[in-house]
Structure 1
Amino acid sequence: MRNLTLAATALLLMTSTAFAERYVMITHTQGTDTFWPVVEKGGRDAAAAIGADFEYNFAPSGDMADMASLIEAATATQPDGIVVSLPDVGALGPAIQAAVASGVPVITINSGADFSRSVGAIMHIGQPERLAGEAAGRRAREEGAVNGLCLNHEAFNASLVERCEGYFEGRPLNMIDVSNDVAQIEARTAAALQSNTDIDSLLAVGPHVCEAAAAAIDSVGADIHLSCFDLTPGVINLIKDGKVAYAIDQQQRLQGYLPVIFLHLYTTGGGLLPGSDVPSGPGFVDQSNAAAVEALAGVDR
């Protein structure tokens, strides 16, 4: 009787494992950006909540062809769903379309909202990037900024370009590529400030860019209005110290957590799905509310 019970238990465990849902998330980080571990954590937390397996992948090279290959490799394993960022529709679109054609539902996150439906994704979760940039630009002008410069660390990323374009709404775009290397970001920002002393404001479109830009401002000794996107403990400290006017918070944990939950509902609930895309931001974090979110920066947002 004991052996029969053990056998039945083993069979139940094997069956449960064999039929566990499995979701794969692929994003465009090179592993240097502190933003993405929060997204990954959201995905893992969601998978744990529903008892699903979860895989997170990125291409350390940052190359879009390598990211497309990761999407193709994930598709070949036929997971229950794929979550993917979409910074370059030209490079990634065919791989996503192939996943959809093979029967794998896809949700895009973070970047590529305007192209999500065209590649066959069932929905997008992220921040309306141009609107977020416009909000950042309006506030900068209200706070006295006149001659701005946008620091973009991923020139290929259409969503980051949209942030910069929004910041300069109605004005000529002034944007430079600062690379994804922190030392280069600081050096290129300092050089830009030294070569054009009319610049009085900077928008950093990523948190590591923001921290490096603050260091560049200090090294040059300039009086610059600095605003940025996304939160880290370092960015929070810069806000508290008055070196960053505000940060745009897109609540990236939602970009990791919600797609796994929605894919679970979609695949197990007869196609249950929200009726529209989900905007995870934008919101402002400044000296008035930085203390309230400080403990969450770099962990859950």
Structure 2
Amino acid sequence: MERTQTRRPTDRRLSRRGLTALSLLALTATALTGCASGKATGGDTGQATASSGGGTTTAKTGKVSIVVIGGKSDDPFFSTVKRGVEDATKLVKAGGGTVTYLGPANYDNLGPDVAKLTQTAISQNPTAILVPDWVPENQDSAIKQAIAKGITVFIYNSGGIEAANKVGAVKYIGSDDYQAGKAGGVKFAEEGAKNILCVNTVPGAANSEARCKGIKDGATSKGSSSKQLPLPSSNFGNPSAVTQAIKGALLQDSSIDAVVTIGVGDADSAASAIKQANVGSKVKLGTFDLSQSQLDRIKAGTQLFAIDQQPYLQGFYVVSMANQYLSYGVLPPQNPILTGPLLVTKDNVDKAIAGAKAGVR
């Protein structure tokens, strides 16, 4: 997954953030035009149609019907994704279309369960399915089946452009998990961390593995090191189990001076573990994704960073772009459409807190 890069990580993030901001402005303009006119004004783009199967609304109804597959209902990250989905759904409904959200009950059997959800979505005969490609070996067959039936597919949140190209989806919308991890690994090393522990509560999932690999490679590039602590996926969402596992690792290996987790719930557990192990003075904490507790700790100086992939944008972009593409053939040329990574640190935490109060961070 590593790519040749000559610019600094901060330069890359700024350029990609600018790109997605421009896409949003264009998207909003076309959405408002579409709502005002009340009718389609264009057709497919040939390239997108070739890669996505259908690319138009159903011939029977002429209305857009979108199924979004995402995380479980009590996942803090996906509650923000759903906020973006819900806001974009207003545009879909204005044109007479529908959006349905499906998610697994838990993450114990993630790949097969999401593949089943994709089959459920196919049975509803939607015009589009929007799905993360978390576990390709389980999911890709179902995704390709959807495309073969003429259903337009967008990959978002996980998998990257490689996954989207492999299955024949229109675009990838989300963060680059490997580059996000690499930025975190570099940040740790620059702040003096030498031995970083990456806690993975969903081992085998493409995005979590890419995150930990990025952490390791980023740290290594600056002379530090990182190892992974893989935990049973049943521990995801079990704060006590995750806390005890991290605490045990810290007590067993006194050389660990930084801990990074793949999600915000696990970061809260890591903070508890660091406190219980009495190593807060030497062990730095970082996490992927963002929540109020992360912001509070960054503000207080007890957490170094949070790597924000801006989930609200993922939900909003993927639904809005699918709607505009299906309705009017409108499609930004950039692929992937990146929503992150953006490191939230003490230098920009106040702006992030304002976004959290608005419900979009």
TM-score by length of 2: 0.75
Residue matched to 2:360: 300
Q: Return the offset for 1:156.
A: 2.0
Indicate the SS of the match to 2:76.
coil
Residue matched to 1:197: 254
Q: Return the offset for 1:173.
A: 5.0
Which piece of structure 1 moves more, 152-161 or 135-144? 152-161
Superposed counterparts of 1:1-301, under 5 Å: 19-27=62-70, 29-51=71-93, 52-62=97-107, 63=109, 64-113=111-160, 114-169=162-217, 170=220, 173-178=226-231, 179-180=235-236, 181-222=238-279, 223-270=282-329, 272-297=331-356, 299-301=359-361
What is the CA–CA distance in structure 2 between the aligned matches of 1:67 and 1:128, rounded to whole Å?
Answer: 21
1:227–1:244 contact (8 Å) kept in structure 2: yes
Which piece of structure 1 moves more, 31-40 or 264-273? 264-273
Deviations 1:44-77 (A, max 9, x none): 1101123232111111132221211111111111
CA RMSD of aligned residues (A): 1.6
What is the CA–CA distance in structure 1 between the aligned matches of 2:74 and 2:303, rounded to whole Å?
Answer: 21
With over 3 angstroms needed to count, the CA separation of the structure-2 counterparts of 1:76 and 1:273, relative to structure 1, is: farther
2:92–2:98 contact (8 Å) kept in structure 1: no
With over 3 angstroms needed to count, the CA separation of the structure-2 counterparts of 1:139 and 1:172, relative to structure 1, is: closer
Deviations 1:134-180 (A, max 9, x none): 11111111100001100111102111111111111147651012330
Q: Return the offset for 1:271.
A: 5.7
What is the CA–CA distance in structure 1 between the aligned matches of 2:337 and 2:312, rounded to whole Å?
Answer: 13
What code does the residue aligned with 2:333 have? P
What is the CA–CA distance in structure 2 between the aligned matches of 1:102 and 1:213, rounded to whole Å?
Answer: 45
What is the CA–CA distance in structure 1 between the aligned matches of 2:75 and 2:325, rounded to whole Å?
Answer: 31
Gaps of 5+ in 1: 1-17
What code does the residue aligned with 1:221 have? N
Q: Return the offset for 1:272.
A: 3.2
Residue matched to 1:15: none
What is the CA–CA distance in structure 2 between the aligned matches of 1:173 and 1:25, rounded to whole Å?
Answer: 35
What code does the residue aligned with 1:191 have? G
Q: How many residues align?
A: 283
What is the CA–CA distance in structure 2 between the aligned matches of 1:196 and 1:259, rounded to whole Å?
Answer: 43
Gaps of 5+ in 2: 1-60
What is the CA–CA distance in structure 1 between the aligned matches of 2:245 and 2:73, rounded to whole Å?
Answer: 21
Deviations 1:170-203 (A, max 9, x none): 4765101233022211111101001111100111
Indicate the SS of the match to 2:303.
coil
Q: Percent identity among equivalent residues?
A: 29
What is the CA–CA distance in structure 2 between the aligned matches of 1:34 and 1:208, rounded to whole Å?
Answer: 8
What code does the residue aligned with 1:23 have? I
